[in-house]
Structure 1
Amino acid sequence: MTCIERASPALNQILLKLYSAEKPMEIDHHLYEFGSAEYHILSEASDPRVAFLSISTAPLCPGVLATNELSSYTIEMIKALCPAVVEIAESRREGYQLTLKLNLTKIPRGKDYIKVIKEISTVHSVILSSQLKEILWNFNSDNAIKGMHKPIKLVYNPREPFFVIRQPQQIIAVFPIRFAEKSDVIISTAFFQELVDVGSSDRYAKAPPCSWSAIPPPELRGEAFEDLSTNGGFVSFDISSHHVDGKRLDKTVWNLLNFNAYVRYHVKITKGFIQRRMRKRLENLVEVLHHRESLEQDNEQITRHQDAGCSCTKRLVRSSKYSILKQRWGNLGRKLKRIHFRLKIQGFGRFRQRWLRLPKFSSREYTKLD
């Protein structure tokens, strides 16, 4: 995916390491970067004050710009990068379009050296931006190149070309969108529809109007079939003169160069967000299921304890009834034995033994009294 930052992260790291080294370092390093960019960094230990940076990049527009040459406008833009540090070497390295001579002793000390080295690392983005600026700057000029109304194919990434159509009053930038996965197509389609709705609101009236279509726009008729075969549709921006006026030109150019990267970044972030939400939702569901299972186990244990308690209670109640009756009859018998009669009745003893005999109770059987 295209790096949205202007500075090359790898080149910036190598230059910082070379500048911050305590001892002179000898570097002969090749570096390849997205967008068909190639760097060669050369530094000799015999002369640590100077380093050479060679750059080779494919032209942004192969049909209009020369392959092995940079325009005078691009050279001037590179010279203005860091005039005190950067100098264009008279003889460039073989196989490279440009060789820069870096005077490391003129890089300021302190925290400012990080800013200067980062600015030097933007040389590739300066080359690409200057090439697109040349196409956009004089889009309404009478001295425009021949075939100004034909689409101009711009190749920042060989797999993601986009088109610029020059018209008398505006420039139309068309981006064919391609994805490898169907889920990416669904997310990007929703994003484009939202982008069109937001761009047509009054709040963003100054922004270039945006449109999305599943089929190629009429301006791309006659282009190669492989350039028009997409699964994500076509996104178009209508760029007017005030969008390329003054400082807005640089911002417009950089946004066009990184639109494909921004779309893919948005899709990647959205997929990550959806996956995190799904994972969180799954964890919550698993937690609810575990909680419900634990509640069911607790209810089963409570039911078992209640059943066991009821059976014990029944046995306890049954045994308590027997013991209470036995105790009452025992008390009654003891009371009758303590009774003393004043008058002695002949034969009452036999009568008492026969008719007032107390029944015997056991814990298992008892006689119901009427």
Structure 2
Amino acid sequence: MRALWHACTKGGGKGALPEEKNKLLPLQQPQLQHQLSQQQLLVAPTSLVKVESAMILLPGASRVLQQVLLSRLRSTEKPLEVDFHLTEFDDVRYHIKASAKEPKQVLLSISLPQSPPETVLSAGLPFGAIEAVKGAFGSVSQVVDPPENDYHLTLNVDVGSFPTDEGLADQLITKLASLRSVVLGAPLREILKHLATKTVAPDADRLVALMHRPRESYFVIPQAEKVTVVFPMRFKDSNDVILGTSFLQEFMEARRSPGLSTAPPCVWSPSPPLELKGAPGQALDANAGFVSFVIFPRHVEGDKLDKSVWILSTFYAYVSYHIKCSKAFMHTRMRRRVETLIQVLNRAKPEVEKEKKSMSGRSFKRAV
């Protein structure tokens, strides 16, 4: 499998697929398939993807949340009842509800997957999530206490209080549609904000476990001049383990190219790094190794902060998505190769000479 991976990626550069991948992207990207009814909205598997520098990045904003809020803000027709349930990757669930009597009031609830025991939670949410939500959305939304049953957080969004400027309103809707990033990335954002302002205490070298995906965590080690983020990588399928290991090794090598010299240093190791000393035993069981990123203040300055938080929070989904695209690409190449071989074999078959008939109806074969 490893040899097949390198054969299929030959000529595409380290960590990149061949040029033919660009032709296949429209087929490989998950399409926004949804089934609308008065009771449920099913989305598989997430919203549209963004392609930058031949790498596929998952967007932070949920496309469905954007559409619902936009329709409530700009609809000129008689408002209808809205009661949608949707699920994004890593088992994050949403519930969007609005009545016809109060069309500008939208109840938005979010439920997070089961967290690992080593993570620090506050009322079922990552530490600092409530403060992050209030700071991000201001007066346009209010936290409902207690939240809806089976959900961890419920917001009452007042669409009628959105800015009248269309551009500002769109920015606010995009931010609300990024609720997942605000909630799950709250602890990491707080740590990186301290790093950007260089207010991390010199003795703050401690291990912080954050929610990575259902029942799994990743680890952050804040220090005075840098923050180290370590991801234990696990895959259930044995082929995914091989592809994921190859991808992560090439991912580390790509950092050495001139165009990525300013990117955060990346290290892959088959064994736990020294930074994970003291981590629980189940967190160190990773069949695809460990990936470490070293974040310096220049990496989180200004508008880089939110993007860094989102990319780090969804790193596993990013790798998993690229593995699926790579498998689909290799299967396409293999099928194309088989079709080519079949055509060659068909051309190699000797032609069967047809019998010829005379005027009297007798059949004969030409003698060689």
TM-score, normalised by the number of residues in structure 1: 0.68
Deviations 1:104-127 (A, max 9, x none): 345569898766544421122122
From the superposition, tell whether residues 41 and 215 of structure 1 become closer, same or farther in structure 2 (CA, over 3 Å). same
Instruction: State the structure with more CA Rg.
Output: 1
Residues 134 and 272 of structure 1: CA distance in aligned 2, closer, same or farther (over 3 Å): same
Q: Deviations over 1:138-197 (max 9, x none)?
A: 2453558xx832321111312442111123332111111111222222222222222222
**Which range moved further: 87-96 or 48-57?**
87-96
1:40 lines up with 2:98 in the alignment: no
Determine the structure 2 residue equivalent to 1:344: none
Question: What SS does the corresponding residue of 1:219 show, helix, strand or coil?
Answer: helix
Counterpart residue number, 1:325? none
Alignment length (residue pairs): 301
Contact 1:172 1:237 in 2 (8 A): yes
Tell me the amino acid that sits aligned with residue 254 of structure 1.
W
Give the corresponding residue for 1:168.
Answer: 224
- Aligned match of 2:136: 78
Equivalent in the alignment of 2:60: 6
- Give the 5 Å matches for 1:96-245: 98-105=153-160, 117-139=173-195, 140-141=198-199, 143=201, 148-245=204-301
Change in Cα spacing, 1:38 to 1:206, as seen in structure 2 (3 Å) is: same
User: Which amino acid letter does the alignment assign opposite residue 59 of structure 2?
Assistant: E
Query: Which deviations, in whole Å up to 9, do the C-alpha atoms of 1:41-95 show, x marking residues without a partner?
Result: 3322222232222345478997445235773641443225xx6xx2325755455
Cα gap change, 1:225/1:115 in structure 2, threshold over 3 Å: closer, same or farther?
A: same
Give 1:219 deviation, angstroms: 1.6
> Which secondary structure does the structure 2 equivalent of 1:281 belong to?
helix
For 1:92 and 1:14, locate their aligned partners in 2 and report how far apart those are by CA, in whole Å. Answer: 24
Q: Deviations over 1:206-248 (max 9, x none)?
A: 1111111111112212322221112111111111222222222
* Match status 1:268 vs 2:327: no
Return the alpha-carbon distance in structure 2 between the equivalents of residues 93 and 171 of structure 1: 34
Equivalent in the alignment of 1:87: 141
1:156–1:35: structure 2 CA closer, same or farther, 3 Å change rule? Answer: farther
Paired amino acid for 1:214: P
2:347 aligns to what SS in structure 1? helix
Following the alignment from structure 1 to structure 2, what is the Cα–Cα distance between the partners of residues 280 and 171?
A: 46
Specify which structure has the higher proportion of helix.
Answer: 1
Residue in 1 aligned with 2:336? 280
* SS of 2:345 mapped into structure 1: helix
* Residue 27 in structure 1 maps to residue 113 in structure 2: no
Q: Deviations over 1:12-44 (max 9, x none)?
A: 344455554832322344445445544333322
Equivalent residue, structure 1, for 2:313: 257
The amino acid of 1:47's aligned partner reads: E
TM-score by length of 2: 0.69
Partners of 1:131 and 1:238 lie apart in 2 by: 17
Q: Structure 1 residues 163 and 150, CA, compared in 2 at 3 Å: closer, same or farther? A: same
Unpaired segments of 5 or more residues in structure 2?
A: 1-44, 48-57, 356-363
The one-letter code matched in structure 1 to 2:315 is: F
Matching residue's letter, 2:256: S
Matched position secondary structure for 1:39 = strand
CA distance in 2, matches of 1:125, 1:228: 25
Deviation at 1:9, TM superposition (A): 3.4
Change beyond 3 A, Cα 1:2–1:135: farther
CA contact (8 A) 1:32 1:39 kept: yes
Q: Does the 8 Å CA contact 2:232/2:283 hold for their aligned counterparts? A: yes
Residue identity in the other structure for 2:319: V
CA contact (8 A) 2:116 2:217 kept: no
SS in 2 for 1:138: helix
Change (3 A) 1:180 1:290: same
Tell me which of the two structures has the higher relative contact order, counting C-alpha pairs closer than 8 angstroms and 6 or more residues apart. Answer: 2
Q: Distance in 2 between matches of 1:169 and 1:115?
A: 32
What amino acid is aligned across from residue 74 of structure 1 in structure 2?
A: A
Change over 3 Å in CA distance of 1:138–1:114 after alignment to 2: closer
